[in-house]
């Protein structure tokens, strides 16, 4: 990415938007230190060793101690600068205490908008995790996955899914052979998104469908304002809007359909309460930080749930906003 006048210590920077090329010269939306980022992912009260390893990994990725969030005034795409996503070292530490979700709204969108209309064929999921989506498909679909994590590759293979470690390997041997490619909540992690989407186009046959779901950038900015919990780089390095994602998809050879937004739900409010507790835990003097010191998960979990009540009282004025969906999907057709 070309840039000019980069000085993270300054209140103003000028960086080219990775999506549309507009020079972003507005003041940063947010500014984070490596220590703040590590504290968000793992407060030192939870695990000082893991916290320090995360801090070292983040500093190495940023090649310094600070990252800022900029937003393009034209396409509204927001992004971290330095513009770099997490690497294998970062995610190996981050995922030490991270689980995978069960069935999600994203999966229903993919089935309704892509799989049912096409009927059968070959499907590739990029970033398959524990394989919840692929393992629930019928025999009419030949299932493939790109998954970098060694922890999940073996169980995926045992369930009959053919696994590739990286996307470039798939392109070399499987170009033009897939009817459907899906990326569920993946693209927000990737700085090289244009290359990834170009490779997705190469993998799809003519008329094949690409299903992408990402956090809604506007919702992520709203999340930080209301809950105090940031959408933190280098985990999420992109904040997409429907317009900015559609623009990139068109550039690389797709016809993008209108965005489908995650519906409102009380689960979204519950997630916001959890984020408020996480934000509180970054203060080592808070009750939340003390609860996170408890190593016994069976004891810690109910205490954290109890902290949801004072969090709810603080967030009551924003309940309607916080029940809104925080993500959107775009289904595109390869042209």
Question: 180: helix, coil or strand?
Answer: strand
Residue labelled with tokens 């990252």: 67
* Residues 211, 331 contacting (CB under 8 angstroms): yes
Residue 218, both tokens: 């506007």
Q: Which domains does the chain carry?
A: 3-97 (no CATH), 105-214+244-264+328-334 (3.40.50.150), 266-322 (no CATH)
Q: Is the dihedral of CA 319, 321, 322, 324 positive or negative?
A: positive
One-letter-per-residue 3-state SS of 238-304: EEECHHHHHHHHHHCCEEECCCEECCCCHHHHHHHHHHHHHHHHCCCCCHHHHHHCCCCHHHHHHHH
Tens of pLDDT, residue by residue, the chain (335 residues):
433 334 555 556 789 999 999 999 889 999 999 999 999 999 888 889 999 999 999 999 999 999 999 999 999 999 999 999 999 899 889 887 555 567 899 999 999 999 999 999 999 999 988 899 999 999 999 999 998 777 778 888 888 999 998 999 999 999 999 999 999 999 999 999 999 999 999 999 999 999 999 999 999 999 999 999 999 999 999 999 999 999 999 999 999 999 999 999 999 999 999 999 999 999 989 999 999 888 888 898 899 899 999 999 999 999 999 999 999 999 999 99
* Residues 159, 188 contacting (CB under 8 angstroms): no
Residue labelled with tokens 């390997």: 169
The pLDDT value given to residue 1? 41
* Residues 143, 123 contacting (CB under 8 angstroms): yes
The C-alpha atoms of residue 136 and residue 155 are separated, in whole angstroms, by 15
Distances from the Cα of 70 to the Cαs of 64, 120, 140, 300, in angstroms?
A: 17, 42, 44, 37
Q: How much is the pTM?
A: 0.91
The pLDDT value given to residue 161? 93
Distances from the Cα of 56 to the Cαs of 2, 65, 139, 172, in angstroms?
A: 27, 10, 45, 35
The pLDDT value given to residue 101? 64
Distance separating the N- and C-terminal Cα atoms of the chain: 27
């Amino acid at each position: 990415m070309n840039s000019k006048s980069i000085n993270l210590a300054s209140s103003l920077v000028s960086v080219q938007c990775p999506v549309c090329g507009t020079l972003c010269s507005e003041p940063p939306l947010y500014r984070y230190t490596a220590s703040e980022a590590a504290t968000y992912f793992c407060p030192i009260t939870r695990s000082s060793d893991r916290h320090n390893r995360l801090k070292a990994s983040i500093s190495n990725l940023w090649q310094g101690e600070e990252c800022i969030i900029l937003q393009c005034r034209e396409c509204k795409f927001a992004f971290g600068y330095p513009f770099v996503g997490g690497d294998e070292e970062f995610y190996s530490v981050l995922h030490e205490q991270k689980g995978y979700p069960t069935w999600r709204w994203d999966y229903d969108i993919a089935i309704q908008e892509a799989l049912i209309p096409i009927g059968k064929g070959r499907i590739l999921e990029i970033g398959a995790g524990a394989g919840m989506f692929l393992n629930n498909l019928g025999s009419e679909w030949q299932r493939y996955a790109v998954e970098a994590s060694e922890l999940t590759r073996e169980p995926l293979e045992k369930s009959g899914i053919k696994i590739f470690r990286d996307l470039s390997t798939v392109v070399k041997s499987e170009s033009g052979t897939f009817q459907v490619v899906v990326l569920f909540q993946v693209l927000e992690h990737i700085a090289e998104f244009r290359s990834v989407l170009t490779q997705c186009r190469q993998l799809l046959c003519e008329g094949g469908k690409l299903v992408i779901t990402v956090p809604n950038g506007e919702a992520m900015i709203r999340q930080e304002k209301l809950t105090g919990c940031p959408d933190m780089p280098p985990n999420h390095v992109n904040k997409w809007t429907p317009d900015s994602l559609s623009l990139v998809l068109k550039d690389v050879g797709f016809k993008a359909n209108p965005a489908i937004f995650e519906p409102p739900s009380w689960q979204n409010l519950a997630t916001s309460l959890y984020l408020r507790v996480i934000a509180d835990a970054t203060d080592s003097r808070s009750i939340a930080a003390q609860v996170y010191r408890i190593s016994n998960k069976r004891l810690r979990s109910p205490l954290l749930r109890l902290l949801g009540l004072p969090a709810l009282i603080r967030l009551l004025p924003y309940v309607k906003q916080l029940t809104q969906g925080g993500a959107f999907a775009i289904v595109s057709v390869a042209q």
